Structure 1
Amino acid sequence: MAAADPGTFTGRGVPARDPGVPGERTGVGRAHGKAILLGEHAVVYGAPALALPVPQLAVTAGATGRHRAREGEDEVSFTVTGPGSEPVAPPTEGLRRLVAEFKRRTGLAGRLRVEVLVDCAIPQGRGLGSSAACARAAVLALADLFGRGLDAGTVFDLVQASENVAHGRASGIDAVATGADSLVLFRSGIVQELPVALAGGGPVRPHEPAGGHIGGFDGLFVIADSGVSGSTREAVELLRHGFERDAGTRTKFVGRVSDLTDAAAAALADGRPGELGARMTENHELLHEVGLSTDRIDALVGAALASGGLGAKISGGGLGGCMIALAGDPAHAEDVVRSLRDTGAVRTWVVPVGRFARHAG
């Protein structure tokens, strides 16, 4: 899980507060992006889901201010910025819920006067966990600022408080994956970390044999931005209405996605990237059938498969956003990236795992 680190916040494009201001200090929190490999939407109905942390998409929050014992209305502001963007005020309803829950859970009585500056490298509206990562980083920054130790469960609950406002009924997988350092299997609120090495800080176990890694899974995940924002809330409602019209559709969808996700987790554990890729593609076909894909996403999925990808699918809420493909080696990953860009992807990210992660960067 991500952890808050003490120090002065100096994120890209976000000025550090003058440390000489009397009575004020800065707390720092960090998180990162995520991509769903299998199980999005079905996870809300109890199916398992697989998520991939994306450490390249980093989020750092700095919380500067103070706490006064006297009562009064809190003065808490949030500003989000990122590479090449001007600072903007994000939708604050969820974040303000987070602050209220933070005070309640930590017993912090009185009035807060805090400015939270979030440096977010995750593009918004792309299904990459920007809202959850910003909330997680903000929670950890507040905890650091006020010297409150938070266990993983409390951090999860606080992020979920914000996510439920932002997206409606949030499954919880984003709240977990934006702080994980391993691939995670999420099932009905229970998290299982899958010990596959990730570039940028994935786990290396003490009992791991020299030169190897648990499961022996090697590959590179290629994420492509379609250039069109998706809406998780809209996609959730679209699917819910469809299920209300035909309850059998829901049972079939959730059952099939559960089977695919379990098979994919087994393929990861056994080091079978070809099977994982096939299950990803099948999951995409199901999401397409229920109306959550788009022509542009479908074209990117087709391009990834045609250029040697082992599997490809939409990733996240749908109705836009990103797709994710699996390549078996760096040469194939380069081919997939080239094909995706030729097909219209506005940007791509490559997340190497297994032995490829050891040589990344």
Structure 2
Amino acid sequence: MLGRRPQRRRWFFRCPSGSLDDAIPPQKRQGELSALTLPTSAEGVSEIRRAHSVGIGRAHAKAILLGEHAVVYGAPALALPVPQLTVTASAGRSCRGAEGPGGASFTMTGSPSRPMVTQASDSLRRLITEFTATTGADDGPHLDVIIDGAIPHGRGLGSSAACARAVVLALADLHGREVTESETFHLVQTAENVAHGRSSGVDARAVGASVPLLFQAGEVQELSIGCDGLFIIADSGVVGRTKDAVHMLREGFRQHQGAQERFVHRASRLTEEARHALADGKPEELGSRMTDYHDLLRAAGLSTKGIDALVEAALTAGSLGAKITGGGLGGCVIALTRPEQAREVTQRLHEAGAVQTWVVPLRGLAEHAH
């Protein structure tokens, strides 16, 4: 197999009234569970319980192909949807009512770090408030939300944006409201800005896209795909440090006159050349630009020894190109590979330290393109 499905562990957090089990005394639990609208996992929602006003929403991961960091300075960026890694959210009302209207509890799966718990709690609560204000939906009884996701946190794969989008769509489904893509983007950005500070919007768009996207100066458009091949994403197992990377880059620009202009110019040129190579069916050129972009980020101090080892392993095994993807200082590597070399590349990545890998075929993405 080319990819390995990550092992999942369930974890819970309270916001603020406790988990589903804590809210119900043991002696009453059996008799009162039927009053709740949610099952124990998002994937296990039965048709009967859906009839009891359970809303469902889904989103997926994303990876940055080229354009990291430079995009916030006005350069273009290319983003790739990763439909293999999904998030499903279910939302429903319970009869607890202890907090009155507006109370919310979240149950999540996976194994994120403790800071992610607080981060998700704050951002998703803000999202729910904004959803109610934007759509005019009733602020009804206590809201229970279950988020079932396979996207590892802190790897540059858009986990927080995907969770937020899934919750938006679950709330819309619960209330029977139609939300436009623009409204959905706005709501996801609300959560992203709470979680990460000022967000570029790349993640908020890409976690709902079905084809690669071009971002520049706040504008977005779908990319043409003329290439065949596979993107292999390898998880280093190390949480990225995007805020540290952003600060490091900014300090470097401040200390060296002209550094920002040189970085943005080089990044823009590589990204534009990669865009045309993707459209014109030139995978070797696309791969070369990816590797060149990794060299640009590494020169800026944004890579690590572990990431560099994964990039080198992919190239040695025959990848057409490889680079870090995301904010840097950890996270994931993305490699462009011919199908016949994918098994060897995947094996070498694991030998070099990858804890899990996923494969994104370009052909599948091309089938969704206009």
Judge same fold: TM > 0.5, yes or no. Answer: yes
Structure 2 CA distance for aligned equivalents of residues 77 and 12 of structure 1: 14
Change (3 A) 1:110 1:342: closer
Equivalence for 1:202:
none
Equivalence for 1:98:
127
3-state SS of paired residue (1:148): coil
Query: C-alpha offsets along residues 282-304 of structure 1, whole Å, 9 cap, x if unaligned?
Result: 11111111111100000110111
Structure 1 CA distance for aligned equivalents of residues 39 and 47 of structure 2: 11
Equivalence for 1:181:
210
- Structure 2 gaps, min length 5: 1-36
CA contact (8 A) 2:112 2:152 kept: no
Equivalence for 1:129:
158
Structure 2 CA distance for aligned equivalents of residues 248 and 147 of structure 1: 53
3-state SS of paired residue (1:354): helix
Equivalence for 2:31:
none
TM-score, normalised relative to structure 1: 0.83
Equivalence for 2:19:
none
Q: CA deviation at 1:192?
A: 1.1
Using the aligned pairs only, state the percent identity: 57
CA contact (8 A) 1:139 1:155 kept: yes
Query: C-alpha offsets along residues 12-67 of structure 1, whole Å, 9 cap, x if unaligned?
Result: 6765489579x952100000011111001111111111111111101100011179
Equivalence for 2:30:
none
Structure 1 CA distance for aligned equivalents of residues 362 and 236 of structure 2: 23
Query: C-alpha offsets along residues 121-156 of structure 1, whole Å, 9 cap, x if unaligned?
Result: 111111111101000001110111111211111111
CA contact (8 A) 2:89 2:170 kept: yes
Change (3 A) 1:77 1:218: same
2:308 aligned to which of 281, 288, 298:
298
- Structure 1 gaps, min length 5: 1-7, 197-214
Change (3 A) 1:57 1:164: same
Equivalence for 2:237:
227
In the TM superposition, 1:256-335 aligns within 5 A as 256-327=266-337, 329-335=338-344
Structure 2 CA distance for aligned equivalents of residues 172 and 267 of structure 1: 25
1:347 aligned to which of 337, 356, 367:
356
| Higher radius of gyration, 1 or 2 | 2
**Matched AA of 1:127:** G
Q: CA deviation at 1:342?
A: 1.0
Q: Are positions 1:52 and 2:80 aligned together?
A: yes
Structure 2 CA distance for aligned equivalents of residues 281 and 357 of structure 1: 23
Q: CA deviation at 1:78?
A: 2.1
Structure 1 CA distance for aligned equivalents of residues 182 and 78 of structure 2: 19
In the TM superposition, 1:104-123 aligns within 5 A as 104-108=133-137, 110-111=139-140, 113-123=142-152
Query: C-alpha offsets along residues 170-208 of structure 1, whole Å, 9 cap, x if unaligned?
Result: 111111111000011111221111243xxxxxxxxxxxx
Change (3 A) 1:20 1:13: closer
Equivalence for 1:5:
none
TM-score, normalised relative to structure 2: 0.81
Q: Are positions 1:253 and 2:263 aligned together?
A: yes
Structure 1 CA distance for aligned equivalents of residues 211 and 76 of structure 2: 16
Q: For this pair of structures, how many residues does the alignment match?
A: 325
Q: Are positions 1:191 and 2:220 aligned together?
A: yes
Structure 1 CA distance for aligned equivalents of residues 151 and 243 of structure 2: 19
Structure 2 CA distance for aligned equivalents of residues 354 and 254 of structure 1: 31
CA RMSD of aligned residues (A): 2.8
Q: Are positions 1:27 and 2:55 aligned together?
A: yes
Structure 1 CA distance for aligned equivalents of residues 46 and 315 of structure 2: 48
CA contact (8 A) 2:91 2:171 kept: yes
In the TM superposition, 1:8-19 aligns within 5 A as 16=45
**Matched AA of 1:351:** V
